Chain A
Amino acid sequence: MARMKFLCDAERCIECNACVTACKNENEVPWGINRRRVVTINDGKPGERSISVACMHCSDAPCMAVCPVDVFYQTDEGVVLHSKDLCIGCGYCFYACPFGAPQFPQVGNFGSRGKMDKCTFCAGGPETDKSDVEFKKYGRNRLAEGKLPLCAEMCSTKALLAGDGDVVSDIYRERVVSRGFGSGAWGWGRAYPGQGA
């Protein structure tokens, strides 16, 4: 069984934000919520690098570990998904997540948060695959349609790769060898510890 992973090649990302837009459009993500974002380090200075980041679908996911109502589950393909029906909006997953992936719509009094929303690796949620309910709550289930996440699929420089971790890392390794440099598979050490990535 494939282990799904994202890999962003910092040497290729040009900060066009197409992945962010593609994600918002494909999943009809509401206002104020960004499942994916592009962060630029040393903006405008020598050595500037950009990284597109969303949920990394960690092996030992911190969000799963701290959730007080246990809404998370990990699919056979390693994708970390959650149930919005069970979420109480406490925000603990956001405090624990190293990548800042969980997002909350603000609803009601004080700063009370609505149901958490995050990148699903375009794999929907616990509802029936490809159903309307699933789409409304979690966005498109492209994996069920036999497709990969749209952010990576339409990346113009192919900086962002998504898919079977073995295939993705092979592509990246080939790149590094042929061009002679690379800054590593960003975030893999944190998200998938002990896998030599």
Chain B
Amino acid sequence: MTAVSRCRGWVAQLAVLALIALGTTFALEFADPQYAAAQSSVRPPADATANVMGGTVPGMSRSSDSASEIWRAVRKGVKGTVSIPDKKAGHLVQSEGDSWRAVRNGPIATWGVIGLAGVIALLAVFFLIRGKIRVEHGMAGRTITRFTDIERIGHWLLAVSFIILAVTGLNITYGKYFLLPVLGKPAFAALAAGGKWLHSYVAFAFMAGLAMVLVLWIRENFPDKYDLIWFLKGGGMIVKGVHPPSKKFNAGQKILFWLVIWGGLGLSLTGIALLFPFQIDFPAGMEPVQQMQFATTWHAVIALVLTIVVIAHIYIGTMGMEGAFDAMGTGEVDENWAREHHSVWAKEVSKSRRGRKARAKAKAAPAE
């Protein structure tokens, strides 16, 4: 650096200092004398508050002007404003979270276990007393078609997806208590993450299956006169040799159908809300976070109820009743099974079949 440039630097600094000094004098000259006086001490005069507010101070805890009303309102969920983009953050306290936690970790978790264990215990007792429900007149060896390919595809799409969803869902609710201690945290977290991923995608298969089943079977699931008889006779499950008449579906199956349809619809709607968190505003008059709490709570409740019901359905469709699985397995059921469990339907089918055969014969006859 040359001597000249160093000198220039000094001159510039001096000029700046002079400007600041000038400015300050100028400001003091024209400023309000009151402010000038206040600057002499950072402490306000002893009677400052009395002068300004007439004895009250905003938010003081020792006067009627207390701000405690504000905080009480905030505690009850009154929202403020924030300058960050996420406007939900203006919600200072959401006390509903405590209720959500209490319901989820309390009644839902407890009653879910009681329900699941209860239904398995009940089925075990039923099996011990009643045993496998046999086809009373023995297998006829001749079969009739109960479910077409498309019906079975719909059923199994719904069934397989439901089982995957139920298992992964139960893992979210109960895995922490049962699986985590066995697997350890890292392995369990990996499993739960995979389960969550599966749950999100298989959900769509479930919804498709639900729609198929609804379209295919809704006609046969409206109540009819045989349903009452079915109930009165305990579905023919209690006493051997009792076979209440029924069409394609008996009253028990109809109840299952409507539980699955309405429950499935509830699961789908709440599930969609959870798949797209905070992206759909349901017109429910609730805060976004409350909507999510509502969705998870109902999702869990409906899912547990359906799982409990479906366990019983799986039992009666497999080990509980001879010949029942064929309906969904091959789609062909034994004639005697059909006559015992769905007598009205069996008659209708064989009649129409005979009619078709007769018509076919009549058509074929002139060729002779």
Query: Which residues of A approach B to under 8 Å, CB–CB?
Result: 10-11, 15, 17, 20, 32, 34, 37-43, 46-47, 49-51, 53, 62, 65-71, 83, 85-92, 94-100, 109-113, 176, 180-184, 186-187, 190
Contact = CB atoms under 8 A, between A and B. Distances in A.
B93 A99 contact: yes
> Chain B's interface: helix, strand, loop or mixed, by majority?
helix
Interface stretch (B168-176, B229-237, B344-352): B168-176
Contact of B97 (A46, A62, A112, A176): A62
Contacts of A15: 83
B90 interface: yes
B180 A183 contact: no
B184 to A, nearest CB: 11
Nearest to B174: A68
Which of B82, B91, B185, B296 is the most central at the interface, judged by chain A CB atoms within 10 Å of its CB? B82
B234 to A, nearest CB: 40
B100 interface: yes
A109 B188 CA distance: 23
Interface residues of B, number: 58
By Cβ-Cβ distance, the 10 closest A-B pairs, closest first, are A181-B60, A86-B189, A39-B80, A41-B80, A88-B193, A111-B277, A111-B276, A96-B101, A96-B97, A43-B81
B296 A17 contact: no
Given A37-B89, A47-B70, A98-B95, A91 B277 contact: yes
B57 interface: yes
B92 A53 contact: yes
A86 B186 CA distance: 6
Contacts of B189: 69, 71, 85-88
A88 B58 CA distance: 46
Contact of B60 (A71, A88, A180): A180
B330 interface: no
Contacts of A96: 97-98, 100-101
A24 B171 CA distance: 35
Contact of A68 (B83, B192, B293): B192
A58 to B, nearest CB: 11
Nearest to B296: A95
25 contacts: A32-B86, A34-B89, A37-B89, A39-B89, A41-B80, A51-B92, A53-B92, A69-B189, A70-B176, A70-B185, A85-B186, A86-B186, A88-B193, A90-B172, A90-B196, A95-B296, A98-B94, A110-B200, A111-B277, A181-B60, A181-B61, A182-B59, A183-B61, A184-B71, A190-B95
B88 interface: yes
Interface string B47-63: 00000000001111111
B112 to A, nearest CB: 14
B67 interface: yes
